[in-house]
A and B are shown apart, each in its own frame.
Chain A
Amino acid sequence: MNNVFVYIEIEGAEVREVSQELLTKGRKLANQLGVELHAVVIGTGIRGKVEEQVLPYGVDKLLVFDGEGLFPYTSSPHTDIVVNLFREEQPQICLMGATVIGRDLGPRVSSSLTSGLTADCTQLEIGPYEDKKSGRVYENLLYQIRPAFGGNIVATIVNPDHRPQMATVRSGVMQKALYEGECRKEVVYPEVGRYVGPEAFVVRVLDHHVEAARHNLKGAPIVVAGGYGVGSKEGFDQLFELAKVLHGEVGGSRAAVDAGWIDNDRQIGQTGITVHPKVYIACGISGQIQHIAGMQDSGIIISINTDPDAPINKIADYVITGSVDEVVPKLIKYYRQNSK
């Protein structure tokens, strides 16, 4: 009862990194609340393969549901398992990745349990809440903090009366870390048939194809990111050139992705990838909150912008006032000259 749960996402028998990141966050929340961290993983042929990818992140109890037809993921069987499990366990918090799976499963579970769900949180904290109408004060609620409204504001959402308090978080927003403290590390293998009936298995996956990522933006030590100020698809070629000489990767703001100048799997921000590089070079990016949420923990931030008052300049270590067209080729040139 009342514990913190993390839904563990898998591809085959491989646990996705976002789930490990959530375990680390979930462990912190559980410690703060004085409760246990439980993890649930659902798949086919995973027994004996997933446990060691989950337990080291501070899990007190891991529930492994292993049965036919549970991989690839389909909505109804996974929903039924999670909903029936939660009816028994009554968790107070449930975290899922803000992935295609988490954003398919989370709302379905929340609707089944009439609990609140907040998507794409960038911070999760514990704190009190006073309902101004009733005057009632709630202790130890989960603050679900996210940029909202196209990234123009940051909202703190709470679910005072409904459990579990559910949140999804994008990959890379939290940092994973092996847990050094004490935890129980119990593993159980519940009988799948007790949680989901055959009638749930009606969507058939005819073809399931996953490719290795085409880039390593998330783990790149140097990121060159372009925004609307880059001006064109061709303008991004220079950014790729700069990234190549610096051994970095290229990302883009939502505006650049919307303009079709760069693929959407390279979008940096709250609704894209969150990066923590050593050096972040923002080229023609004004700095909407929704973008900054995805890069503010970068080591050194260099902003190139024609507008000396661009919002991103406030968090930049170096502000270069000038056009991307002019500055980027010069950076390439001087790097080549000086690095030899």
Chain B
Amino acid sequence: MSLRIVVLAKQVPDTRNVGKDAMTPEGTVNRAALPAIFNPEDLNALEQALRIKEHQPDVEVGVLTMGPPRAGEIIREGLYRGADTGWLLTDRLFAGADTLATSYALSAAIKKIGNVDLVIGGRQAIDGDTAQVGPQVAQKLGLNQVTYAEEIIKVEDGRATIRRMIDGGVEVVEAPLPLVVTVNGSAAECRPQNAKLVMKYKHAACPLEVSDDDPRRALREERPYLVLNQWSVADVDGDPAQCGMSGSPTKVKEVQSIAFQAKESKSLSASDADLNGLIVELLNDKIIG
């Protein structure tokens, strides 16, 4: 049985290193100002897809991402780790999308790819932490979903058996394909980049990433696998009204850098006298006891 798997991956700003210029005045993220990485849980998702590919014949794994042209890097990184192909959804009309508009665009692309058996994505992205895109893509495609997956145990006879995390426990579920699965960060880590694949794909690029005077143009004409798929709204037969800002029901009213109500605090050193005094004070006030 052949199997087509699409891995949803997002290029995210590394929110562990955020400066003051991280937000635009409109309240959306100023991605250009930040280092960009492969969303961690999407790597867990990619690993689950690659494991299925390892264990059965005739499995195709493709990485689907939406973002500016530089998000082509995500597809390359997927190829380096063992994916077979990838698609970059890029168009100014996609900009400013909330989770619902993002899900609409991704679902349109998945329809365009066609005959997809499994859509696997990370549970959530570190720049939003919403965990909404997976279920919303499933709903838009009319597919079942299994979220918080820790392991796709097996895929056979048109059904997937999956172990998933639930609040305070675990569950094993079985669901028919086609199916959307979101993978939790507690799942297996992604395998590293493969040196041979890095050599093979390091000059792969989406058309928008390539300038006119790029020295590798001839190489790409010779090796078509170095030209990555790049799709606009029109390419996926998308409705512009459902994309980007206009397709987003949620609006950002305001964004604040919070100034906390400063308390009058007592300053202490690490000296024995100070710390002994603190304990005595807390005990006397019956705050601890």
Which A residues lie at the B interface, using CB under 8 A?
11, 16, 72, 74-76, 79, 99-101, 103-108, 110-112, 114-120, 129, 131, 143-144, 148-162, 202-213, 222, 246, 255, 264, 270-271, 278-279, 289, 292, 296, 299-302, 308, 311, 313-323, 326-327, 330-331, 334-335, 337-339
The answer to whether B269 and A321 have CB atoms under 8 Å apart is yes
Shortest C-beta distance, A323 to chain B (Å), equals 7
- Evaluate contact between B18 and A338: CB separation under 8 angstroms: no
Q: Does B210 contact A (CB under 8 A)?
A: no
A residues within 8 A CB of B15? 149-152
Chain A residues in 8 Å Cβ range of B35: none
Within 8 Å by CB of A119, from B130, B173, B260, B274, lies B130
* Extra A-B contacts (4), CB below 8 Å, given A100-B148, A107-B99, A205-B171: A116-B248, A149-B23, A202-B176, A302-B278
Residues of chain A within 8 A (CB-CB) of B193 are none
Q: Is A315's CB under 8 angstroms from B269's CB?
A: no
| CB neighbours of B272 from chain A (8 A) | 330, 334
In order of increasing CB-CB distance, the 7 nearest A-B pairs are A150-B15, A322-B270, A116-B249, A210-B169, A116-B250, A107-B132, A111-B139
User: Nearest Cβ in chain B — how far from A319, in angstroms?
Assistant: 5
**Category for how many chain B residues contact A:** 35 or more
Contact call A203/B173, Cβ cutoff below 8 A: yes
- Which residue of chain A has the shortest Cβ distance to B278 in the bound complex? A318
Asked whether, in the complex, the Cβ of B136 is within 8 Å of the Cβ of A111, the reply is: yes
- Please, what's the 1-or-0 string for B227-259, where 1 marks a CB less than 8 Å from any CB in chain A? 000000000000000000000111111111110
Q: A279-B287, A335-B288 are in contact. Are A203 and B251 (CB under 8 A)?
A: no
Please determine whether B288 and A279 come into contact, CB atoms closer than 8 angstroms. yes
Rounded to whole Å, the gap between the CB of B169 and the closest CB of chain A is: 4
Beta-carbon contact of B186 and A118 below 8 Å:
no
- Structural contact, A153 and B173, CB atoms closer than 8 A: no
Contact status A72-B255, CB under 8 Å: no
Provide the residues of chain B in CB contact with A302, threshold 8 Å: 278
The docked-state distance in angstroms from the alpha carbon of A111 to that of B258 is: 31
Instruction: Find out whether the CB atom of A322 lies under 8 angstroms from the CB atom of B173.
Output: no
In the complex the two chains form, is B249's CB within 8 Å of A129's CB? no
Q: Is B276 an interface residue (CB 8 A)?
A: yes
- B214: CB under 8 A from chain A? no
What is the minimal beta-carbon distance from B253 to any residue of chain A, in angstroms?
4
- A335 / chain B contacts, CB cutoff of 8 Å: 279, 283, 288
Let me know if A152 and B22 touch, CB within 8 A: yes
Asked if B268 is an interface residue, CB under 8 A from chain A, the answer is yes
What sequence of 0s and 1s flags, for each residue 21-36 of chain B, a beta carbon within 8 Å of any chain A beta carbon? 0110001010000000
Q: With contacts A107-B135, A202-B144 known, is A209 near B171, CB below 8 A?
A: yes
Contacts of B186 in A (CB 8 A): 264
